[in-house]
Amino acid sequence: MLKKIISSKKFQIYFLVVCLIAIIVLIGIIYFRSTEQEKVIFDPEISVNEYWDWGEINNLHLYVNNTDTSVIYALDDSGKIEWEIWGKDYGFDTFEIRKEQDNLLITDSFNDELGTAWSVFLVFNVDGTLAWKHTFKGYLDLPQMLVTPDNYLILENRNDNQCNAGCGIICEDAYLNFCHESNTWAFDFNSGKVMWRNNTRNYYGHYLTLENRKIVARSGGIGHGRLIHEYIVDSSTGIIESQTVIMNDREFSIDKENALVFERDNKHIYFQNILDKQNAWSLDDESDLYKWAEGHLSGGYKTLILNDIILSYSKNFFTDKKVMMYAWNKSNGEYLWKHIYEVSAFDLFNPIDVDNIVLFNLKYISPCKDVCEQCSGLICFDRYDTEECKACEEEDEARDDYVKSKVWAIDTNSEKVLWEKDNAWFSEVNEDDQVIANIKTEDGQKEVKLDPKTGNEILE
Protein backbone atom coordinates (compact mmCIF):
# COMPACT_ATOMS: atom_id res chain seq x y z
CA MET A 1 0.00 0.00 0.00
CA LEU A 2 2.77 2.45 0.99
CA LYS A 3 4.70 1.54 -2.09
CA LYS A 4 1.61 2.22 -4.14
CA ILE A 5 1.13 5.65 -2.54
CA ILE A 6 4.78 6.58 -3.03
CA SER A 7 4.64 5.52 -6.63
CA SER A 8 1.53 7.58 -7.30
CA LYS A 9 1.97 10.63 -9.48
CA LYS A 10 0.12 12.90 -7.09
CA PHE A 11 2.43 12.05 -4.20
CA GLN A 12 5.49 12.71 -6.34
CA ILE A 13 4.24 16.21 -7.16
CA TYR A 14 3.58 17.02 -3.49
CA PHE A 15 7.01 15.73 -2.58
CA LEU A 16 8.71 17.90 -5.19
CA VAL A 17 6.82 20.98 -3.99
CA VAL A 18 7.85 20.37 -0.37
CA CYS A 19 11.46 19.87 -1.39
CA LEU A 20 11.41 23.08 -3.45
CA ILE A 21 9.98 25.06 -0.53
CA ALA A 22 12.63 23.65 1.78
CA ILE A 23 15.39 24.60 -0.64
CA ILE A 24 14.06 28.16 -0.95
CA VAL A 25 13.86 28.54 2.82
CA LEU A 26 17.38 27.18 3.20
CA ILE A 27 18.75 29.59 0.57
CA GLY A 28 17.01 32.49 2.29
CA ILE A 29 18.53 31.56 5.67
CA ILE A 30 22.00 31.27 4.15
CA TYR A 31 21.65 34.63 2.29
CA PHE A 32 20.33 36.41 5.38
CA ARG A 33 23.18 35.11 7.54
CA SER A 34 25.76 36.06 4.90
CA THR A 35 24.44 39.61 4.53
CA GLU A 36 24.37 39.98 8.28
CA GLN A 37 27.99 38.96 8.41
CA GLU A 38 28.92 41.28 5.50
CA LYS A 39 26.96 44.30 6.69
CA VAL A 40 29.35 47.27 7.02
CA ILE A 41 28.99 49.86 9.72
CA PHE A 42 30.09 53.38 8.67
CA ASP A 43 32.53 54.46 11.36
CA PRO A 44 34.47 57.36 9.78
CA GLU A 45 38.04 58.12 10.73
CA ILE A 46 37.28 61.86 10.55
CA SER A 47 34.58 64.04 12.07
CA VAL A 48 32.43 64.16 8.94
CA ASN A 49 30.11 66.81 10.41
CA GLU A 50 33.00 69.27 10.11
CA TYR A 51 33.24 68.74 6.35
CA TRP A 52 31.16 69.26 3.25
CA ASP A 53 29.58 65.96 2.17
CA TRP A 54 30.46 66.70 -1.45
CA GLY A 55 29.45 63.46 -3.20
CA GLU A 56 31.00 60.26 -4.49
CA ILE A 57 33.70 59.22 -6.91
CA ASN A 58 34.53 55.58 -7.73
CA ASN A 59 32.23 54.41 -4.89
CA LEU A 60 34.15 56.53 -2.37
CA HIS A 61 32.56 59.25 -0.26
CA LEU A 62 34.24 62.65 -0.53
CA TYR A 63 34.35 65.02 2.41
CA VAL A 64 35.71 68.47 1.63
CA ASN A 65 36.92 71.55 3.46
CA ASN A 66 37.63 74.21 0.84
CA THR A 67 37.96 77.15 3.23
CA ASP A 68 40.45 76.95 6.07
CA THR A 69 42.15 73.51 6.07
CA SER A 70 41.76 72.96 2.29
CA VAL A 71 41.57 69.17 2.26
CA ILE A 72 39.65 66.44 0.46
CA TYR A 73 39.10 63.05 2.12
CA ALA A 74 37.91 59.93 0.25
CA LEU A 75 36.28 57.36 2.59
CA ASP A 76 35.07 53.86 1.81
CA ASP A 77 31.75 52.47 3.09
CA SER A 78 33.31 51.64 6.46
CA GLY A 79 34.63 55.19 6.92
CA LYS A 80 38.25 54.27 6.30
CA ILE A 81 40.36 56.96 4.59
CA GLU A 82 41.39 55.58 1.20
CA TRP A 83 43.23 58.71 0.12
CA GLU A 84 43.40 62.42 0.87
CA ILE A 85 44.41 65.60 -0.97
CA TRP A 86 45.88 68.52 0.96
CA GLY A 87 45.91 71.90 -0.76
CA LYS A 88 49.18 72.89 0.87
CA ASP A 89 50.90 70.03 -0.95
CA TYR A 90 49.76 71.22 -4.38
CA GLY A 91 49.68 75.00 -4.06
CA PHE A 92 46.00 75.78 -3.57
CA ASP A 93 44.03 77.21 -0.66
CA THR A 94 40.33 78.07 -0.90
CA PHE A 95 39.19 76.31 -4.03
CA GLU A 96 36.37 75.30 -6.38
CA ILE A 97 35.83 71.61 -7.06
CA ARG A 98 34.10 69.78 -9.89
CA LYS A 99 33.93 66.21 -11.20
CA GLU A 100 34.31 65.35 -14.88
CA GLN A 101 34.85 61.84 -16.30
CA ASP A 102 35.74 60.47 -12.85
CA ASN A 103 38.39 63.15 -12.45
CA LEU A 104 38.38 65.87 -9.83
CA LEU A 105 38.98 69.38 -11.16
CA ILE A 106 40.30 71.95 -8.72
CA THR A 107 40.87 75.67 -9.26
CA ASP A 108 42.07 78.43 -6.97
CA SER A 109 43.05 82.10 -7.44
CA PHE A 110 45.70 84.16 -5.70
CA ASN A 111 47.68 87.39 -6.03
CA ASP A 112 51.46 87.55 -6.04
CA GLU A 113 53.58 90.14 -4.24
CA LEU A 114 53.09 92.60 -7.11
CA GLY A 115 49.32 92.27 -6.95
CA THR A 116 49.05 90.28 -10.18
CA ALA A 117 46.19 87.79 -10.22
CA TRP A 118 46.85 84.09 -11.00
CA SER A 119 44.76 80.94 -11.14
CA VAL A 120 45.95 77.37 -10.61
CA PHE A 121 44.07 74.47 -12.22
CA LEU A 122 44.61 70.84 -11.18
CA VAL A 123 43.21 67.55 -12.45
CA PHE A 124 43.28 64.57 -10.04
CA ASN A 125 42.81 60.92 -10.97
CA VAL A 126 40.16 58.69 -9.45
CA ASP A 127 42.70 57.41 -6.91
CA GLY A 128 43.55 60.91 -5.65
CA THR A 129 46.85 61.24 -7.50
CA LEU A 130 47.66 64.36 -9.50
CA ALA A 131 47.19 63.89 -13.25
CA TRP A 132 48.32 67.35 -14.37
CA LYS A 133 48.41 70.99 -13.39
CA HIS A 134 48.42 74.35 -15.17
CA THR A 135 48.82 77.94 -13.93
CA PHE A 136 47.06 80.82 -15.68
CA LYS A 137 47.68 84.53 -15.43
CA GLY A 138 44.41 86.11 -14.39
CA TYR A 139 41.13 84.43 -13.51
CA LEU A 140 39.68 81.07 -14.50
CA ASP A 141 35.93 80.41 -14.50
CA LEU A 142 35.67 76.67 -13.78
CA PRO A 143 31.92 76.30 -14.50
CA GLN A 144 32.55 77.67 -18.02
CA MET A 145 34.17 74.48 -19.30
CA LEU A 146 33.61 72.13 -22.23
CA VAL A 147 34.83 68.65 -23.17
CA THR A 148 34.94 68.14 -26.94
CA PRO A 149 34.56 64.89 -28.96
CA ASP A 150 38.38 64.89 -29.26
CA ASN A 151 38.51 64.73 -25.44
CA TYR A 152 39.87 68.27 -25.29
CA LEU A 153 39.17 70.23 -22.14
CA ILE A 154 38.22 73.82 -23.12
CA LEU A 155 38.87 76.54 -20.55
CA GLU A 156 38.70 80.33 -20.64
CA ASN A 157 40.74 82.68 -18.53
CA ARG A 158 40.92 86.44 -18.32
CA ASN A 159 43.56 88.66 -16.84
CA ASP A 160 43.23 90.84 -13.78
CA ASN A 161 41.50 93.67 -15.68
CA GLN A 162 37.78 93.32 -16.24
CA CYS A 163 37.12 93.09 -19.96
CA ASN A 164 34.06 94.59 -21.55
CA ALA A 165 31.96 91.90 -23.21
CA GLY A 166 34.91 90.14 -24.86
CA CYS A 167 35.60 92.24 -27.93
CA GLY A 168 38.25 89.77 -29.10
CA ILE A 169 40.32 90.25 -32.25
CA ILE A 170 38.03 93.08 -33.30
CA CYS A 171 39.80 95.33 -30.81
CA GLU A 172 42.95 96.41 -32.62
CA ASP A 173 43.61 99.39 -30.36
CA ALA A 174 45.79 98.20 -27.47
CA TYR A 175 44.47 100.98 -25.22
CA LEU A 176 40.85 100.00 -25.71
CA ASN A 177 41.61 96.30 -25.66
CA PHE A 178 43.20 96.16 -22.24
CA CYS A 179 42.57 92.43 -21.74
CA HIS A 180 45.14 91.42 -24.35
CA GLU A 181 46.59 88.61 -22.22
CA SER A 182 43.37 86.60 -21.98
CA ASN A 183 43.01 83.34 -23.87
CA THR A 184 40.93 80.27 -24.57
CA TRP A 185 42.77 76.97 -24.07
CA ALA A 186 42.33 73.40 -25.26
CA PHE A 187 44.06 70.71 -23.16
CA ASP A 188 44.28 67.00 -23.76
CA PHE A 189 42.10 65.83 -20.90
CA ASN A 190 44.28 62.85 -20.09
CA SER A 191 47.77 64.35 -20.30
CA GLY A 192 47.23 68.09 -19.84
CA LYS A 193 49.11 68.85 -23.05
CA VAL A 194 48.10 72.18 -24.60
CA MET A 195 46.52 71.29 -27.95
CA TRP A 196 45.82 74.88 -28.95
CA ARG A 197 45.56 78.31 -27.40
CA ASN A 198 43.36 80.87 -29.03
CA ASN A 199 45.10 84.10 -29.93
CA THR A 200 42.23 86.49 -29.28
CA ARG A 201 43.27 89.49 -27.23
CA ASN A 202 40.14 89.43 -25.13
CA TYR A 203 38.15 86.78 -23.31
CA TYR A 204 35.02 85.55 -25.01
CA GLY A 205 32.50 85.76 -22.21
CA HIS A 206 30.47 83.67 -19.83
CA TYR A 207 28.52 81.31 -22.06
CA LEU A 208 30.09 78.34 -23.82
CA THR A 209 28.24 75.67 -25.78
CA LEU A 210 29.32 72.95 -28.18
CA GLU A 211 27.41 72.52 -31.43
CA ASN A 212 28.54 70.16 -34.23
CA ARG A 213 32.16 70.19 -33.02
CA LYS A 214 32.08 73.99 -32.96
CA ILE A 215 32.52 76.06 -29.83
CA VAL A 216 29.93 78.83 -29.56
CA ALA A 217 31.24 81.46 -27.16
CA ARG A 218 28.80 84.21 -26.31
CA SER A 219 29.35 87.14 -23.97
CA GLY A 220 26.61 88.44 -21.75
CA GLY A 221 26.30 92.03 -22.92
CA ILE A 222 27.99 93.61 -19.92
CA GLY A 223 29.69 96.96 -19.49
CA HIS A 224 28.72 100.43 -20.62
CA GLY A 225 28.04 99.38 -24.21
CA ARG A 226 26.28 96.10 -23.37
CA LEU A 227 27.59 94.61 -26.60
CA ILE A 228 26.99 90.91 -27.17
CA HIS A 229 29.90 89.17 -28.91
CA GLU A 230 29.46 85.73 -30.40
CA TYR A 231 32.33 83.61 -31.74
CA ILE A 232 32.24 80.32 -33.63
CA VAL A 233 35.49 78.43 -33.00
CA ASP A 234 36.68 75.12 -34.43
CA SER A 235 37.09 72.89 -31.38
CA SER A 236 39.94 70.88 -32.95
CA THR A 237 42.13 73.80 -34.08
CA GLY A 238 40.99 76.87 -32.15
CA ILE A 239 40.53 78.84 -35.36
CA ILE A 240 37.85 81.53 -35.13
CA GLU A 241 35.50 80.91 -38.02
CA SER A 242 33.15 83.83 -37.43
CA GLN A 243 32.69 86.76 -35.11
CA THR A 244 29.44 88.66 -34.66
CA VAL A 245 28.60 91.65 -32.47
CA ILE A 246 25.04 92.61 -31.51
CA MET A 247 24.72 96.32 -30.74
CA ASN A 248 21.63 97.50 -28.88
CA ASP A 249 21.34 98.57 -25.26
CA ARG A 250 17.93 97.00 -24.67
CA GLU A 251 17.56 98.65 -21.25
CA PHE A 252 17.42 102.19 -22.65
CA SER A 253 16.45 101.55 -26.28
CA ILE A 254 12.88 102.32 -27.27
CA ASP A 255 12.98 99.73 -30.06
CA LYS A 256 13.83 96.50 -28.25
CA GLU A 257 12.93 94.18 -31.12
CA ASN A 258 15.75 95.17 -33.48
CA ALA A 259 19.52 95.50 -33.24
CA LEU A 260 22.57 96.38 -35.28
CA VAL A 261 24.43 93.17 -36.08
CA PHE A 262 28.07 93.56 -37.10
CA GLU A 263 29.65 90.63 -38.96
CA ARG A 264 33.37 90.90 -39.32
CA ASP A 265 33.75 87.92 -41.66
CA ASN A 266 31.01 88.92 -44.11
CA LYS A 267 32.01 92.58 -43.81
CA HIS A 268 28.43 93.76 -43.39
CA ILE A 269 26.33 95.43 -40.76
CA TYR A 270 22.62 94.63 -40.59
CA PHE A 271 19.52 96.12 -39.03
CA GLN A 272 18.06 92.86 -37.81
CA ASN A 273 14.98 91.66 -35.97
CA ILE A 274 16.21 89.85 -32.88
CA LEU A 275 13.52 87.15 -32.96
CA ASP A 276 13.18 86.10 -36.60
CA LYS A 277 16.71 87.19 -37.71
CA GLN A 278 15.28 89.05 -40.70
CA ASN A 279 17.23 92.06 -41.98
CA ALA A 280 15.43 95.30 -42.78
CA TRP A 281 18.60 96.58 -44.49
CA SER A 282 22.32 95.87 -44.67
CA LEU A 283 25.42 97.94 -45.42
CA ASP A 284 28.87 96.79 -46.54
CA ASP A 285 32.32 97.71 -45.26
CA GLU A 286 32.41 100.89 -47.37
CA SER A 287 29.55 102.45 -45.43
CA ASP A 288 30.05 105.02 -42.69
CA LEU A 289 28.09 102.90 -40.20
CA TYR A 290 30.23 99.80 -40.78
CA LYS A 291 33.48 101.78 -40.47
CA TRP A 292 32.25 103.42 -37.29
CA ALA A 293 31.16 100.11 -35.77
CA GLU A 294 34.44 98.40 -36.61
CA GLY A 295 36.33 101.03 -34.66
CA HIS A 296 33.98 101.20 -31.66
CA LEU A 297 33.44 97.61 -30.54
CA SER A 298 35.29 97.79 -27.25
CA GLY A 299 32.11 98.66 -25.37
CA GLY A 300 32.97 102.30 -24.71
CA TYR A 301 29.84 103.46 -26.54
CA LYS A 302 26.19 102.92 -25.65
CA THR A 303 24.15 102.26 -28.80
CA LEU A 304 20.41 102.90 -28.68
CA ILE A 305 17.66 102.32 -31.22
CA LEU A 306 15.00 104.97 -30.79
CA ASN A 307 11.84 105.75 -32.74
CA ASP A 308 13.44 107.39 -35.77
CA ILE A 309 17.20 107.34 -35.22
CA ILE A 310 20.04 105.15 -34.05
CA LEU A 311 22.05 106.96 -31.40
CA SER A 312 25.42 106.07 -29.90
CA TYR A 313 27.36 108.01 -27.30
CA SER A 314 30.57 107.62 -25.36
CA LYS A 315 31.16 107.62 -21.65
CA ASN A 316 34.02 110.01 -21.02
CA PHE A 317 32.33 112.07 -18.36
CA PHE A 318 34.92 111.53 -15.63
CA THR A 319 37.98 112.04 -17.82
CA ASP A 320 37.34 115.13 -19.90
CA LYS A 321 33.72 116.11 -19.11
CA LYS A 322 32.77 115.52 -22.72
CA VAL A 323 30.54 113.08 -24.52
CA MET A 324 30.81 112.19 -28.22
CA MET A 325 27.49 111.41 -29.86
CA TYR A 326 26.69 109.87 -33.27
CA ALA A 327 23.33 109.60 -35.04
CA TRP A 328 22.12 107.55 -38.02
CA ASN A 329 18.81 107.25 -39.85
CA LYS A 330 16.97 104.22 -38.51
CA SER A 331 15.23 103.45 -41.82
CA ASN A 332 18.41 103.01 -43.90
CA GLY A 333 21.51 103.45 -41.73
CA GLU A 334 22.43 106.75 -43.36
CA TYR A 335 24.91 108.84 -41.37
CA LEU A 336 23.31 111.98 -39.93
CA TRP A 337 25.79 113.72 -37.66
CA LYS A 338 28.30 113.57 -34.81
CA HIS A 339 28.86 116.10 -32.08
CA ILE A 340 30.96 116.60 -28.93
CA TYR A 341 28.96 117.88 -25.99
CA GLU A 342 30.37 119.48 -22.85
CA VAL A 343 28.64 117.71 -20.00
CA SER A 344 29.59 116.77 -16.45
CA ALA A 345 27.38 113.78 -15.83
CA PHE A 346 27.32 110.34 -14.28
CA ASP A 347 25.31 109.07 -17.20
CA LEU A 348 22.52 109.80 -19.64
CA PHE A 349 19.25 108.01 -18.95
CA ASN A 350 15.90 107.23 -20.60
CA PRO A 351 16.53 108.79 -24.03
CA ILE A 352 13.46 109.19 -26.20
CA ASP A 353 13.00 110.93 -29.55
CA VAL A 354 9.88 112.83 -30.47
CA ASP A 355 9.33 115.27 -33.35
CA ASN A 356 13.06 115.40 -34.26
CA ILE A 357 14.11 115.99 -30.66
CA VAL A 358 15.99 113.60 -28.36
CA LEU A 359 15.35 113.97 -24.65
CA PHE A 360 17.74 112.72 -21.94
CA ASN A 361 17.75 112.58 -18.19
CA LEU A 362 21.16 113.53 -16.82
CA LYS A 363 22.69 112.89 -13.42
CA TYR A 364 25.63 115.10 -12.59
CA ILE A 365 27.58 116.41 -9.62
CA SER A 366 28.52 119.89 -8.49
CA PRO A 367 32.18 121.01 -8.27
CA CYS A 368 34.08 120.50 -5.02
CA LYS A 369 34.33 123.49 -2.72
CA ASP A 370 37.12 122.30 -0.43
CA VAL A 371 39.44 119.41 0.30
CA CYS A 372 37.06 117.53 2.56
CA GLU A 373 34.42 117.52 -0.12
CA GLN A 374 36.97 115.86 -2.37
CA CYS A 375 37.44 113.16 0.24
CA SER A 376 33.78 112.35 0.72
CA GLY A 377 33.36 109.60 -1.80
CA LEU A 378 32.13 109.82 -5.35
CA ILE A 379 30.89 113.40 -5.14
CA CYS A 380 32.97 115.55 -7.48
CA PHE A 381 35.14 115.22 -10.54
CA ASP A 382 38.23 117.08 -9.31
CA ARG A 383 38.93 115.16 -6.13
CA TYR A 384 42.46 113.88 -5.67
CA ASP A 385 44.52 111.84 -3.24
CA THR A 386 46.60 114.19 -1.09
CA GLU A 387 47.77 114.40 2.49
CA GLU A 388 44.95 116.85 3.16
CA CYS A 389 42.45 114.31 1.94
CA LYS A 390 43.81 111.71 4.29
CA ALA A 391 43.17 114.13 7.13
CA CYS A 392 39.45 114.29 6.42
CA GLU A 393 37.23 112.92 9.15
CA GLU A 394 35.21 109.76 8.51
CA GLU A 395 31.99 111.57 9.33
CA ASP A 396 32.48 113.91 6.36
CA GLU A 397 29.84 112.55 4.04
CA ALA A 398 28.55 113.70 0.68
CA ARG A 399 25.39 115.75 0.93
CA ASP A 400 22.32 114.95 -1.13
CA ASP A 401 22.69 118.16 -3.11
CA TYR A 402 25.96 116.98 -4.64
CA VAL A 403 24.07 114.71 -7.01
CA LYS A 404 21.77 116.65 -9.28
CA SER A 405 19.65 115.99 -12.34
CA LYS A 406 18.43 117.80 -15.41
CA VAL A 407 16.48 117.19 -18.60
CA TRP A 408 18.44 117.71 -21.79
CA ALA A 409 16.94 118.18 -25.29
CA ILE A 410 18.88 117.84 -28.58
CA ASP A 411 17.68 118.73 -32.05
CA THR A 412 18.32 115.64 -34.22
CA ASN A 413 18.54 117.79 -37.36
CA SER A 414 21.05 120.37 -36.17
CA GLU A 415 22.60 118.27 -33.32
CA LYS A 416 22.36 121.36 -31.09
CA VAL A 417 21.15 121.43 -27.50
CA LEU A 418 17.76 123.13 -27.62
CA TRP A 419 17.20 123.51 -23.90
CA GLU A 420 18.10 122.25 -20.42
CA LYS A 421 15.88 122.01 -17.37
CA ASP A 422 17.73 121.86 -14.04
CA ASN A 423 16.49 119.88 -11.05
CA ALA A 424 14.12 117.97 -13.31
CA TRP A 425 13.61 114.34 -14.35
CA PHE A 426 11.14 113.28 -17.04
CA SER A 427 9.28 109.96 -16.99
CA GLU A 428 7.49 109.80 -20.34
CA VAL A 429 6.11 111.61 -23.37
CA ASN A 430 2.32 111.42 -23.45
CA GLU A 431 0.08 110.91 -26.47
CA ASP A 432 -0.01 114.69 -27.03
CA ASP A 433 3.80 114.75 -27.31
CA GLN A 434 4.10 116.55 -23.99
CA VAL A 435 7.02 115.76 -21.68
CA ILE A 436 5.85 114.57 -18.25
CA ALA A 437 8.51 115.57 -15.71
CA ASN A 438 9.05 116.04 -11.99
CA ILE A 439 10.73 119.28 -10.92
CA LYS A 440 12.40 119.74 -7.55
CA THR A 441 11.04 122.67 -5.54
CA GLU A 442 11.72 124.13 -2.09
CA ASP A 443 8.69 122.24 -0.77
CA GLY A 444 9.56 118.95 -2.45
CA GLN A 445 8.68 118.28 -6.08
CA LYS A 446 5.85 118.77 -8.52
CA GLU A 447 4.78 117.09 -11.74
CA VAL A 448 4.66 119.32 -14.82
CA LYS A 449 4.13 119.08 -18.56
CA LEU A 450 6.86 120.52 -20.78
CA ASP A 451 6.91 121.55 -24.42
CA PRO A 452 9.53 119.26 -26.05
CA LYS A 453 10.67 122.05 -28.40
CA THR A 454 11.24 124.75 -25.77
CA GLY A 455 11.24 123.07 -22.36
CA ASN A 456 8.65 125.62 -21.20
CA GLU A 457 5.99 124.48 -18.77
CA ILE A 458 2.58 123.94 -20.35
CA LEU A 459 -0.09 125.57 -18.22
CA GLU A 460 -3.60 124.20 -18.37
pLDDT higher than 60, residue 358: yes
Instruction: Indicate whether 400 pLDDT > 70.
Output: no
Supply the pLDDT for residue 286.
94
DSSP code, position 290? H
pLDDT tier at 180, thresholds 50, 70, 90: very low
Burial (Cβ within 10 Å: 0-12, 13-18, ≥19) of residue 184: buried
The percentage of residues in the chain with a pLDDT greater than 90, rounded to a whole number, is 27
* CA 98, chain centre distance (Å): 20
243 pLDDT band, cuts 50/70/90, is: confident
Q: What is the mean pLDDT of residues 263-285?
A: 92
55 pLDDT higher than 80: yes
Quick one: average pLDDT of 180-188? 77
Most confident of 59-63, 175-179, 305-309: 59-63
In terms of pLDDT, which residue wins out, 95 or 385? 95
Q: Where are the domains of the chain?
A: 42-137, 140-304
Residue 67 per-residue DSSP state: S
Query: Mean of the pLDDT values across residues 241-250?
Result: 83
Mean pLDDT for 12-17 is: 68
Confidence at residue 166, expressed as pLDDT on a 0 to 100 scale: 45
What fold characterizes domain 140-304? Answer: Thrombin, subunit H (2.40.10)
For the cut 80, the answer to whether the pLDDT of residue 94 exceeds it is yes
Q: How confident is the model at residue 208 (pLDDT cuts 50, 70, 90)?
A: confident
In this structure, of 13-27, 68-82, 372-386, the range with the lowest mean pLDDT score is: 372-386
93 has a pLDDT exceeding 80: yes
Question: Would you call 114 exposed, middle or buried from its count of C-beta atoms within 10 A (0-12, 13-18, 19+)?
Answer: exposed
CA distance 303 to 324: 12
Q: Count H helices, E strands: the chain?
A: 7, 30
Mean pLDDT estimate for the chain = 78
Instruction: Report whether 365 contacts 404 (CB < 8 A).
Output: yes
Confidence of residue 272 (pLDDT cuts 50, 70, 90): very high
The pLDDT value given to residue 385:
47
- In DSSP notation, 354-394 reads ETTEEEEEEEEEPPP-SHHHHHSSS--TT----HHHHTS-T
Q: How far apart are CA 129 and CA 104, in angstroms?
A: 10
**What pTM, to 2 d.p., does this model score?**
0.67
DSSP state of 377: S
User: How many Å apart are CA 6 and CA 3, to the nearest integer?
Assistant: 5
Rounded CA separation 331/106 (Å): 52
**Does residue 69 contact residue 78 with C-beta atoms inside 8 Å?**
no
Mean pLDDT of the 167-195 span: 67
Query: Under a CB-based contact definition with an 8 Å cutoff, are residues 453 and 357 in contact?
Result: yes
Average pLDDT (259-283) is 91
Q: Is the pLDDT of residue 390 over 70?
A: no
Q: What's the pLDDT at 279? A: 94
Question: What is the pLDDT at residue 170?
Answer: 45
Write out pLDDT tens, residues 125-166: 999 999 999 998 888 877 778 999 999 999 887 764 544 444
